[in-house]
Structure 1
């Protein structure tokens, strides 16, 4: 086989090398192909080691065994191995006859006969030609390859990609340059050989790997052999690079009728692009949406706009604008901008079907901020306002807010300085100066002090002392335009950590004491309330130094919080598997600083994600609840006359990486009733199996209401594969107290080897923007997504809805 050494040059750049992978496929057949396409059914795969049917398929393509020497090497770094029945060399021409097999690293060439001309560097193969690489195989009757650059052609060619499942046939495949392929009279599909649900037929297909684009001419799409689409010219991608072109349209149906959108993408430059989406809404008219993105070395921007002229139903112009920016000027300076505004409060209800959750947003953020952080200092300047969407009073605007905080070095038994300053100018559309009802002005908050810590393996003890000062410069219209107050704060936080071996776990027992003294200063009732509210009471709140968010009140307290927690750590991994905690605060004197009209018994919440039936008002203390009463948040910590807090508990269990459970509960100190509880369970299995369950219960006191209601809600969701081809999606959020479904979602998907269809039905309560009531209407939407694997899909909204509605869901 001396003549084979002359083939080395010819094999350095094979015909389809740009399509090849650099690693072997993990699934390899133990013997030769079962048919020309190397397709194995599910039954036949049982004989193949480490092989299973592809998702949605009843089989898969399996590469032939690669047992020759150096099969894992790249062709240009491997020696040549070959064999033939006989060879002949005449001048510059080498000829091989009968069962020609040539291996060069990952590349394998097979043919009945072969010849190589050393002068022209031309390589000819005929009689059952096969070119095999790890992730693909090309067969044909005859092939001609130029050994200098790998250009050439194959006649009567077949192509299969083992991993993606792409199959193609062509009368001729030509490689005119190292980066181009031309297919004549081509057939293309991603369906298995025994079930060609769809196929593309084209007169010519040109693939350019330098630009990442392909062009086909005279293209026909056939479904079950029936032509359903024809185009004289199509432009499509051959890799994941961005390119200008028409994207797949989206289809949806809701209470507003049929909704069709056809996006067109403009790849304007490597660092900016634009997507324009004409949208037809059956009941409302024609709409145009646009999204632009821009990226430079300092920041990334995104602009989103939409416009609907003269809505047929609302009889007004509808529009949306959204601007977002995230920037990093250097390691110290960063910026962020968020500006979102819509033409009217019912915009999302009427015009958005991509996410019903968006429709329940109560406000839109409009802010811009500049941040600075060094090793010792952190500062922020922000201007912020909101567009209110729930029919409630507009919120305060920050024009602007400035904060500065010192970040001390944590060293045991070394005093650490404490310094925090915050200055905020609050404005309001309905302010007193203009004859309105809202106080406006500038609030200044300053705290300074010292902290002395000791933190070790056996526990910690941290002493803190600081002085807090709060002052205002209020606009005209109030009795006192410059109220101010100063109060001292001192705390001592001490904990011990005991450890013991508990089988395969290391258990800790951690008693903790937290003494807190906040001095009382009278007269704070005259201070305005700009952005302060009461924190929700829970186990972690026991060890915080304030029961308020914001700086409008300097709370008073003299208390001792007692807590006991225990954790179990896996000795092998060090991961915390179980943690339990229980605690209570004991008050040595009555607390006198409260928020206006604050009467709480239990645990109303300010978390809008937990109270879908409530409307949260940013910058205020309370929220409105069905029944036209005012409920306040915070738990038993808000009571003025009490000797102790409720009993707070916390538990979290993580059995393994796929399964965890958490529970937080607050028990009434007098009658042991559950004032507040939240249970959560999450499980993630293989193949997108996902379960979530949550239960929330909250008691609260309603001002001027005889009956004290409870909020009780269930939230369950699941993603459940059924076999290899079916998949179910579901979510149910239910208000037990008011006996109504807040949101319901059900979806089903079917996936075969070459196509996928998913449909989703979603229903949610539609908020009443004038007054909350029990007679709310339901908003409904039906989404449909259809995909031909290897070509693309119809619809792109369903995945976003699933990821938003089902916690932990990721589309794979």
Structure 2
């Protein structure tokens, strides 16, 4: 089980160990390839010859390229003449395996030349490193091409039908035995073993010593990897091989490099002398790491570079006498990339160190240096097993020249599943109320956006027809101006459905016992009440469905019982209320087919009638532990209680009417759904949260409307509004618009209005300026104060191997505004330097998280 929060892009040079030696114990599956022509034709022919090109007709400018998401078929090869042998009797084995007949093999995917000027000599040279430029910039992102690993036809054992790793297959134009024990192979020498191949125009072998020399150019291949060199030496009696003036490519990692010498000393250790590595495409060395020696330990999964330099745009910018880095997908301990934030108040730099303790346990220790001469140390431990996910977060301000207090954070998170049992913990505690405003945090904890830090533990059990849970919930209030919420110590819940004797009748029940308690410091007498509450809520539901409509009557019972303490002297310690609730929900379905702009659609008309009766019962002496009046929306017309929580149940004698119309395409996609409704009240609503509040005496509700519009896959609009029944004046409105052409082209607008109290608009966008440049922005504006609440603007540049982003932000921070600049610089494959905006702006900029995920995986 592995973590994904600290990914590393491996420098997978480890597979170079297969050069000219060693027998693998398992076969490697080779993916198939397809070759597709933009003109719509297909061709996956064998080796290109003058005859095939002469007979091939293609339109001007057409070029074969591989499409990223399509499989590619193997290119055919002619069989090599071989004979099997064991590793004993090497000289006789060699003579048997040499054929004097030239054999043509195909080792590169075919890409016929174009008639366009883009087919330059440099692009042809790039193909020697398996890099194939795209024919256009459309739909290929910032990379202008991609690596293509050609199929290496594996030699198989006819008896087991598995890859044959015990036999070496050799073909050449000529072979000869010189004086002594030296054999010479000349002309298109092709050596294969399993999924590996080696090509050179000249190979010399000393049959007595086993010394092997390749001259005039060497090409080594195995699945997903290519090495070219001027020459190579090795010995068939051991694993040591040396290649000179070499270049290498690892296709699936987009990794390439060069080396003066590549030496394979043992089976699991590889030395690169005076070499480099980069994730940039050929011809674009925007950055690379150069070192006098790069040592790769395949077994441990680590690489070490001595005298390493980070070279950017041809200029060395960082020297590291010793550089330790991973070479595969395994997680490793080491420094992660730092983040930097510059603001008006405090600038800070954070340096994290990652501990890979075990495959399912890790730890991240972060030191944050602030410009006010303070040092903050944060630590996060994560643990996974087959049943649970766990995280422990701690923080301590260890050095502060201006404040000698011990200031800290403690956070714990857990979620578990043990058969039918589920467990959860969400706990955050800080040393003082000002901690987050003074320091912020890099930890994944509740940071008190709502002024109350959650401290919750829960265990639940799920049976076939019922479930139960026990909840303990406390809060730490970090805003002294806020009233402290009630704590649940504990809450025990039991809900379920009795076995149905009839298909259309169900019996449901809900029982909740809660003990409420809170700190009474600073509270008035009426607010000091604590105590226990028991809620019993059984119901009988009948559901009759037909193709033309439905009828759903139900009868419910709501019973609440309290045992109070510390209450006002005018209120008894024991209170209870029992109410019957009768509701009938009904609706009809009508539809018609029509055409618009030669497209077929279906329109529905769905009238709905809802009747609710709840008798009045005085609830003014009941405490208010968790109840508030819900905001009125279209869905409120068909809800049995106008209050949240369980301390109040609203009296009602009402009839609600609703009308919904939908337009559905012939593919079944809902284009638009529009609803409008209205309620008629036959009595005043006397039950209020505040016992001193006047009854609600209006005879009708506001008009409530809801519209969802999706004209195509790019546009989505949500509209919810209520209007005064007499004046038709807007009371409440929420408008949410989103345009998403693709994950990189997103515009979002959100407007919220509540009469006399709120009028705010949020605009955000993600939009490319060119193929490499893109922009992002956010503006949250309050129309009542005529001031922006939050504003941000950013510019990004991305190439095929690096990316940079700068974001300027100005936001309200209490009575002041906080201005900051965040800079991020990312080297493909090595991570980034600078502060990401993901955690700070992603919730406000529509589509930001989706875009980051899309670009990271495409």
Alignment TM class, shorter chain as reference? 0.7 to 0.9
* SS of the residue 1:552 aligns to: coil
- What is the CA deviation profile of residues 573-619 of structure 1, one whole-angstrom value per residue up to 9, with x for unaligned ones? x33232111111111111111111787xxxxxxxxxxxxxxxxxxxx
Question: Could you tell me which residue of structure 2 aligns to residue 461 of structure 1?
Answer: 551
The equivalent residue for 1:506 is: 602
Give distance in 1, aligned partners of 2:27 and 2:795: 38
Q: Which moved further from structure 2: 467-476 or 780-789?
A: 780-789
Question: Counterpart in 2 of 1:341?
Answer: 429
Tell me, in whole angstroms, the C-alpha distance in 1 between the residues paired with 2:275 and 2:359.
33
Q: Which residue of 2 aligns with 1:798?
A: 837
Report 1:770-785 matches (<5 A): 776-785=815-824
User: Which of 587, 590, 594 is the equivalent residue of 2:681?
Assistant: 587
Residues 1:294 and 2:383 aligned together = yes
Other structure's SS at 1:349 match:
helix
Give the equivalent residue in structure 2 for 1:486. 578
Query: Matches of residues 639-718 of structure 1 in structure 2 within 5 Å?
Result: 640-686=696-742, 688-699=744-755, 709-718=756-765
Higher deviation after alignment, 136-145 or 356-365:
356-365
What pairs up with 1:46-445 in 2 under 5 angstroms? 48=134, 55-57=141-143, 59-63=144-148, 66=150, 76=163, 84-88=172-176, 95-101=184-190, 109-114=198-203, 125-132=214-221, 135-144=224-233, 152-162=241-251, 164-309=253-398, 311-312=400-401, 316-330=405-419, 332-352=420-440, 360-390=449-479, 391-407=481-497, 413-430=503-520, 437-445=527-535
Partner SS, residue 800 of structure 1: helix
Moved more, 504-513 or 223-232: 223-232
Confirm or deny: 8 A CA contact 2:500 2:507 kept in the other structure.
no
Task: Please give the alpha-carbon distance, in whole angstroms, between the structure 2 residues aligned to 1:780 and 1:416.
Answer: 58
Q: Structure 1 residues 729, 134: closer, same or farther in 2, change over 3 A?
A: farther
Is residue 354–residue 797 contact of structure 1 (8 Å, CA) maintained in 2?
A: no
How far apart are 1:148 and its partner, in Å? 9.7
- Partners in 2 of 1:497 and 1:95 — Cα distance? 87
- The CA deviation at 1:124 is 5.1
Which of 190-199 and 677-686 deviates more?
190-199
Higher mean C-alpha displacement, 574-583 vs 307-316: 307-316
Distance 2:138 2:315 in 1: 32
8 Å CA contact retained: 1:361, 1:389: no
- Distance 1:462-1:417 versus aligned 2 partners, 3 A rule: same
Alpha carbons of structure 1 residues 150 and 590: separation in structure 2 relative to 1, 3 Å: farther
Larger displacement relative to structure 2 (484-493 or 21-30): 21-30
Distance apart, 1:505 and its partner CA: 2.9
Please give the per-residue CA displacement for 1:72-121, whole angstroms capped at 9, x wherever unaligned: 99993799998643234799997531133567897554321236789999
Deviates more, 1:277-286 or 1:421-430: 277-286
**Partner residue of 1:567?**
662
Deviates most, 454-463 or 669-678: 454-463
Task: Answer yes or no: is the 8 Å Cα contact 2:220–2:227 preserved in 1.
Answer: yes
Which residue in the other structure is 1:521 paired with?
A: 617
The alignment partner of 1:655 has SS state of coil
Judged with a 3 Å threshold, the aligned counterparts in structure 2 of structure 1 residues 13 and 680 are, in CA distance, closer, same or farther, namely farther
Q: Does the 8 Å CA contact 1:87/1:97 hold for their aligned counterparts?
A: yes
Question: Structure 1, residues 535-567: CA drift from partner, whole Å, max 9, x if none?
Answer: 111111211111111110121101111111122
Q: Offset of 1:743 from its aligned partner? A: 0.9
Q: 1:675 to 1:273 in 2, by over 3 A?
A: same
Give the secondary-structure state (helix, strand or coil) at the position aligned to 2:620: helix
1:661–1:680 contact (8 Å) kept in structure 2: yes
Q: Which residue of 2 aligns with 1:626?
A: none
State how far apart, in whole Å, the 1-side matches of 2:816 and 2:415 are. Answer: 38
CA contact (8 A) 1:309 1:316 kept: no
1:450-470 Cα offsets, whole Å, 9 max, x none, are 111123443321111011111
Secondary structure of 1:199's counterpart equals strand
**1:95 and 1:739 mapped to 2: Cα distance?**
87
Question: What corresponds to 2:804 in structure 1?
Answer: 757
8 A contact 1:320–1:342 mirrored in 2: yes
Whether the aligned pair in 1 keeps the contact of 2:382 and 2:391 (CA below 8 Å) is yes
Deviation at 1:336, TM superposition (A): 0.6
Deviation string 1:360-413 (CA, Å, 9 cap, x unpaired) is 432211111111111211211111122223321111111111111113568975
What pairs up with 1:622-633 in 2 under 5 angstroms? none
Task: Give the TM-score normalised by structure 2.
Answer: 0.78
CA positional deviation for 1:160: 2.6
Separation in structure 2 between the aligned mates of residue 72 and residue 191 of structure 1, nearest angstrom: 36
Instruction: Kindly indicate whether the alpha-carbon contact (under 8 Å) linking 2:152 and 2:197 is maintained by their aligned counterparts in 1.
Output: no
Measured after TM superposition, the shift of residue 198 of structure 1 is 2.7
Cα deviation for residue 436 of structure 1 reads: 8.9
Q: Secondary structure of the equivalent of 2:648?
A: coil
Alpha carbon RMSD of aligned pairs, Å? 3.8
| Whole-angstrom CA distance in 2 between matches of 1:100 and 1:521 | 98
Q: Secondary structure at the match of 1:806?
A: coil
Does the CA contact (< 8 Å) of 2:151 and 2:223 recur in 1?
Answer: no
1:182 Cα shift?
A: 2.2
1:350 aligned counterpart, secondary structure: helix
Q: TM-score, normalised by structure 1?
A: 0.82
Deviation at 1:673, TM superposition (A): 0.8
**2:651 is equivalent to residue 556 of structure 1:** yes
User: Do the aligned partners of 2:32 and 2:151 also contact (CA within 8 Å) in 1?
Assistant: no
Please say if residues 687 and 721 of structure 1, whose CA atoms lie closer than 8 Å, have aligned partners that are also in contact. no
Encode CA deviations 1:257-291: one digit per residue, 9 max, x unaligned: 32011111111122222111111101151111111
1:446 correspondence with 2:536: yes
CA distance in 2 between counterparts of 1:352 and 1:21 reads 50
Q: What is the DSSP-based 3-state SS (H/G/I as helix, E as strand, rest coil) of the residue aligned with 2:617?
A: coil
Partners of 1:114 and 1:124 within 8 A in 2: yes
Worse-superposed segment, 352-361 or 127-136: 352-361
Is the 1:247–1:265 contact (alpha carbons within 8 Å) kept by the matching residues of 2? yes
3-state SS of paired residue (1:526): coil
